[in-house]
Amino acid sequence: MVEGILTGLSTAFTPMNLLMVFVGCFAGTFIGMLPGLGPISAIALMIPITYGFDPASGMILMAGVYYGAIFGGSTSSILINAPGVAGTVATAFDGYPMAQQGHAGKALAIAAVSSFSGGTIGAILLLAAAPALAQVALSFQSADYLALMVLGLTAVSAFTAPGQVLKALIATVLGLMISTIGTDPSAGVQRFTFGSLDLVDGISFLLLAMATFALSEALMAILKRDETSEAAARATAGELGSMRVSREEVREMVPVIGRTSILGFFVGVLPGAGATIASFLAYGAERTFASAKDKLKFGKGSVRGLAAPETANNAACTGSFVPLLTLGIPGSGTTAVMLGALISYGVQPGPRLFQNNPDVFWAVIISMYLGNVILLILNLPLIPYIARLLALPRQILVPLILFFSLIGVYLVSFNTFDIHMMAGFALAAIILRLLEFPMAPLILGFILGDMIEDNLRRALTISDGSIAFLWERPLTATIFGLTILTLLAPLFRIIRQRRSAMLSGEGG
């Protein structure tokens, strides 16, 4: 292993590869900032550019674009509530309210430090444990993945205000229903398409995310045009670009970063899980186990609520390289494109990669740490200038959000039907928001819907239609047990509060 690390250091620190890390991080950051241009599109565009490179340089460049895009994706989520990358949806829950309160600079600084910490801790874990973690990933079966997805759905409790659990559950079911539109992946039969060819491939995440977050937010701003935004008022006072994080907030962030980086990394290791599930799980876990006082801050600009998903999604990006490099299994759509690139270079990813091509294996891992340092150096000085985006007058900012939302969705499919459908979803989202339905559970249900269905079918097929798979494997039973405990945690808390109130009443 020491020999491999030395090989990686000597490969990664060549002038060419250092340039690749910088270019990849720089390009990825700006691609991530633009709603609609995700890392998959960016990496796909990089493949023909890297054909003349050696495999290590090509992979270092694409890895830089990948975690740079996740790093930069938080910017549009925080500033304009437009999470163009699925992994940064949870970042908007507290990042955007913080920006609206006039703390855009602080929100971006917290996101930058959390991203750096998550990516760095993930790179160290990857360096130390990649071969061993490959065996852990192999031990997961469909039933275990199903249990993990159901555990992810319990994060719905993290997105609800007190007394709003039923509305959150309804929104989750709506998301699950929307995820079933399209072609049945097993039978090849069209479902809920109403004979329309435009719905055969289902509804894209980008379309739904842009409609429910960015577009509906812009339209809500038009409806509330008489209200002067607090952010604009603070911008006039020159406070918008402040990046100062207090000592208390740092103390609050440190344990959150430690917990969620480990959680995010191990979720990223599992093929098919990835940064999105990691960020939702981290956000849900932090809110579930927060004190009653801290829980009230979530969704209103909580430091913990912003640091948790940002740390977890970057750690998960690093973790997703474990199945790619050690098993040859892509853990996400992005790593699937990278798998194709590796094969086109004549490199066969799998258990023997770190023996046959140690320069590629170790150089990619070493470059991740370098990339996180470069991303921090690139982003921190730019934060005060990026934050000034919120200082734009509403008459300019709202059309810009509308433009990026509509163009971002159109450039993916070049289909005007998607624009019409997006407008319809945005109007529905406005109605739901006026009725105080949370949008986050809807997105969560939509993202996990396909994965739950696929893994449930596989698990039922393996068990010949029996539901015994729910408790036959210790790992599956353990995850379902955690799910039940997570669901019962709020009930236990209510019982404990009532008991303490009764005892204090008796004492009085």
Q: How many whole angstroms separate alpha carbon 169 and alpha carbon 176?
A: 11
Report percent pLDDT > 90 for the chain: 2
Q: Which of 47-56, 386-395, 436-445 has the least mean pLDDT?
A: 386-395
**Averaged pLDDT for residues 10-22:** 87
pLDDT at 234: 44
DSSP E strand boundaries for 53-95: none
253-300 pLDDT per residue, tens: 889 999 899 998 888 877 656 777 888 888 888 887 787 788 888 888
Residues paired with 182 in a beta bridge: 191
Helix (H) or strand (E) holding 191: strand 190-191
**Rounded CA gap, 355 and 377, in Å?**
34
Pick from 13-22, 138-147, 347-356: least confident: 347-356
* pLDDT of residue 229 exceeding 60: no
Kind and range of the H or E element at 434?
helix 416-434
- What pLDDT digit, counting tens, does each position of 52-93 carry? 788 888 888 888 888 788 777 788 788 877 776 777 888 888
The per-residue pLDDT of the chain, averaged, comes to: 77
Highest mean pLDDT among 116-130, 169-183, 229-243: 169-183
Note if the pTM is more than 0.75: no
pLDDT at 58: 86
Instruction: Check residue 106 and give its pLDDT.
Output: 86
Q: Give the model's pLDDT for residue 232.
A: 42
Q: What is the mean pLDDT of residues 295-309?
A: 86
Amino acid 261: pLDDT: 92
pLDDT-wise least confident of 19-23, 335-339, 472-476? 335-339
Q: What is the pLDDT of residues 412-453, one digit of tens each?
A: 778 888 888 888 998 998 898 888 887 778 877 887 787 788
Q: Is the pLDDT of residue 391 over 70?
A: no
233, 282 Cβ separation under 8 angstroms: no
State the pLDDT at residue 193.
85
Phi, psi angles (nearest 5°) of residue 182: 125, -150
Residue 227: its pLDDT value, please?
44
Distance CA 234, CA 53 (A): 48
pLDDT (average), residues 348-375? 78
User: Taking residues 158-167, what's their average pLDDT?
Assistant: 66
Q: Please state, in angstroms and rounded to a whole number, the distance separating the CA atoms of residues 265 and 273.
A: 11
**Kind plus residue range of the DSSP H or E element containing 481:** helix 474-507
Model pLDDT, residue 339: 74
Give 190's strand partners: 183
Asked whether 304 and 290 are in contact (CB, 8 A), the reply is yes
Average pLDDT over residues 142-166: 71
Look at residue 399 in the predicted model and tell me its pLDDT.
81
Return the minimum-mean-pLDDT range out of 57-66, 158-167, 309-318. Answer: 158-167
**pLDDT greater than 50 at residue 301:** yes
Which of 1-5, 152-156, 160-164, 305-309 is modeled with the greatest confidence?
305-309
- pLDDT(231) > 50: no
pLDDT of 361 higher than 70 = yes
